[in-house]
Amino acid sequence: MSASPLAKSIASFAIRAHRPRALPAIPTLVTTVPRRSAAVAVPDDHVSRSAQEPLVEINSLPLQDAVKARGPRNTWTREEIAAIYDTPLMDLVYNASTVHRRFHDPSQVQLCTLLSIKTGGCTEDCSYCAQSSRYDTGLKASKLVTIGSVLKAARMARDNGSTRFCMGAAWRDMKGRKSNLRDIKEMIKEVRGMGMEVCVTLGMLDDAQAKELKEAGLTAYNHNVDTSREFYPSVISTRSYDERLNTIDNVSQAGISVCSGGILGLGENKEDHIGLVYTLATLPKHPESVPINTLVPIPGTPLGDNKPIEFKSVLRTIATARIVMPKSIVRLAAGRITLSEEKQAMCFMAGANAIFTGDKMLTTDCTSWDEDKDLLEGWGLRPMKSFERETGNPEMIDSQLETDLEKEGSSALFGTERSFKQVKLETGTSA
């Protein structure tokens, strides 16, 4: 398999970064990074290094283990994830790219389109959301859209290259919504009949509702955990962290792929980025896809005046997620429209391999299909086909051995068997 221009670019950069240069020696300071016991040698400008210094001077065993791993594991400690997250940025991106090439075709990007099928009027108090009835955002509540309008939107998405069609409804849960559930199941069946993957996000689900969606042909269910357990109560009070985990459990038990990620820029710090990845990477099974959103400030919401998050934090989170959840799809989600083409390319280098594309993403603006076609073509990337999950370099990972290990439930591939109860106990109790 020939390398894409994007893969060649990062390989070339990494070679130049490792090449000795005739630079004057730079004094270093030895500091201790929080949550890590080993000392770290940090140049006082945090970028330049003397010619004879190694590229990375940290206790990088967690990173080394992750890069060499034959498959996912869910026994990560928070300290291990912190050590990976704190790796010097370009080295972190380079290693994330290495992991990405082992488990995925780096030239492929999944194109997803997200349609709002019921807008506004939600009773939840999510501080970032335009659709909450608690805030004056100028958005009016609507009823569930017709099946015909959904199929029209799905055909347009498919004809423009999208292979996963997602539908979102603004409500807390599916209780008492039997007629809506019936219509949504019909939407799922019809869109699936077009040869597309289908994802929905409908709030909290019980196990019976999850089974009904599975029987209708649902591919994936989105239910984000949003942020770390510790910071979560600062953002939402009407739904607990454990209620989110319960829905994820119901979806997983029904045999539906889990789509779960978070939002950056809510006012959190790097410890919360680490905590977000820790929650996802220690689930009994890693999410099939991990959307990384950046806050789109909505006037009228409590977070409407938040400043944009630094891009380096976004890149670190994507790279860390790719390294510790190697087989998951990592999706650039809300807020991508604010990123330059070069920043998006850096995210692809760091392991992102999916985007939302189209006219709208729920109620916010999205990059158009034509713009994204130009973006992918310019960087030597191509759309992933529906239900396509190609392994990267067959010389680097024995896919048959991986399959055998998976059938055996080997701890070498997945780590110790864990339950959602264990996840809740280990990550603390919700507020």
What do you get for the CA distance between the two ends of the chain, in Å? 49
Asked if residue 228 lies in contact with residue 275, where contact means CB atoms within 8 angstroms, the answer is yes
Q: What's the pLDDT at 12? A: 54
Is the model's pTM score more than 0.85? no
- Measured over the CA atoms of residue 287, residue 101, residue 55 and residue 57, the dihedral's sign is positive
> For the chain, which ranges sit under pLDDT 70?
1-59, 389-431
Q: What's the pLDDT at 418? A: 54
Q: What's the pLDDT at 55? A: 43
Q: Which of these is catalytic: 102, 112, 239, 259?
A: 259
Q: What's the pLDDT at 38? A: 35
DSSP tag of 86: T
Q: Which of these is catalytic: 166, 177, 192, 336?
A: 166
Angle at the Cα of 121 (from 365 to 256), degrees rounded to 5?
Answer: 70
Q: Which of these is catalytic: 73, 78, 112, 129?
A: 129
Query: Residue 133: is it exposed, middle or buried by C-beta count within 10 angstroms (0-12/13-18/19+)?
Result: middle
Residue range 83-97, pLDDT digits in tens: 999 999 999 999 999
Asked if residue 300 lies in contact with residue 325, where contact means CB atoms within 8 angstroms, the answer is no
Residue range 20-45, pLDDT digits in tens: 444 344 333 333 334 333 333 333 33
Helix axes of 89-103 and 61-68: crossing angle, nearest 10 degrees: 20
Phi then psi for residue 37, to 5 deg, are -85, -25
Q: Which of these is catalytic: 112, 122, 347, 366?
A: 122
Residue range 270-288, pLDDT digits in tens: 999 999 999 999 999 999 9
Q: Which of these is catalytic: 331, 336, 347, 366?
A: 331
Q: Which of these is catalytic: 101, 102, 112, 126?
A: 126
| 366 part of the active site | no
| 112 part of the active site | no
Q: What gap in Å lies between CA 192 and CA 175, rounded to an integer?
A: 25
Q: What's the pLDDT at 25? A: 41
Phi then psi for residue 136, to 5 deg, are -95, 90
Q: Which of these is catalytic: 199, 229, 239, 244?
A: 199
| 129 part of the active site | yes
Question: How big, in percent rounded to 5, are the helix, strand and coil portions of the chain?
Answer: 40, 15, 45
Q: What's the pLDDT at 184? A: 97
DSSP tag of 173: B
Q: What's the pLDDT at 3? A: 57
Q: What's the pLDDT at 400? A: 47
Q: What gap in Å lies between CA 220 and CA 258, rounded to an integer?
A: 6
Q: What's the pLDDT at 231? A: 98
Kindly give the pairing relationship between strand 164-169 and strand 108-118.
parallel
